[in-house]
Amino acid sequence: MTRLIFLGPPGAGKGTQAQRLAEVLRIPHISTGEILRSAVADKTPLGQKAQAYMDRGELVPDELLLDLIGDRLNQPDAEKGWILDGFPRNVSQASFLEKLLQELNQTCNCAINLEVPDEILLDRLLGRGRLDDTPETIRTRLEVYRHQTAPVIEFYRERALLRIIDGDRPMEEVTDSLEQVIMS
């Protein structure tokens, strides 16, 4: 059973790697960013509440996401395992997830931090062309990452669940390393 949490700054390649692994392992890839982007596109109540935060590169408030994650991990397809990409993004989300998994009687295998130097992240984010990838929101998202998301790394380190992978390498090499970590 594979249950993985993908950490790492914006532009580290989390989405791409999580997607690839989920396909290989035939388990759902649960990306809160994607869920939110489709809610915005569909103009759902969630999307309408989340959009302004996303446009600014800030985190959307926890209360918009916590029930959503609970519901998603309760879906039948998540019984086979899952890869979480973009959640948890702060320590309170990490504590929430820890309790949720206890309630569901699930344990995650590990939290993987994809490490990539800042200057490479900037190049990648500027080159990706997503609507929320303007120079200003990119700056905000990197700040938000440093202040709110980086402490989540320590959260998992303290629980001996942290695995670090060098994300500054060709995509295939990163995927190989990830597969080795999961098999070990």
Compare residues 128 and 176 and give the one whose CB is closer to ligand AMP: 128
* Min CB(38)–ligand AMP separation in Å: 11
Binding mask 84-103 for ligand AMP (x = CB under 6 A): --xx-x---x----------
Please report whether residue 29 would count as binding ligand AMP according to CB under 6 A: no
Q: In the annotation, is 99 catalytic? A: no
**Which position among 8, 9, 10, 13 is part of the footprint of ligand AMP (CB under 6 A)?**
10
Q: State both tokens at 87.
A: 């959640």
Alpha helices in 26-61 (DSSP H): 32-41, 45-56
Do 62 and 39 touch, CB atoms closer than 8 A?
Answer: no
Please report whether residue 32 would count as binding ligand AMP according to CB under 6 A: yes
Q: In the annotation, is 141 catalytic? A: yes
For 120-152, b/e burial (b = at least 16 CB within 10 A) is: ebeebbeeeeeebbeeebbeebbebbeebbeeb
The contacts of residue 55 (CB under 8 Å, 6+ apart) are 132, 137
Please report whether residue 72 would count as binding ligand AMP according to CB under 6 A: no
Q: Which of residues 124-143 bind ligand AMP (CB under 6 A)?
A: 141
Q: State both tokens at 162.
A: 């942290």
**Which position among 12, 36, 46, 152 is part of the footprint of ligand AMP (CB under 6 A)?**
36
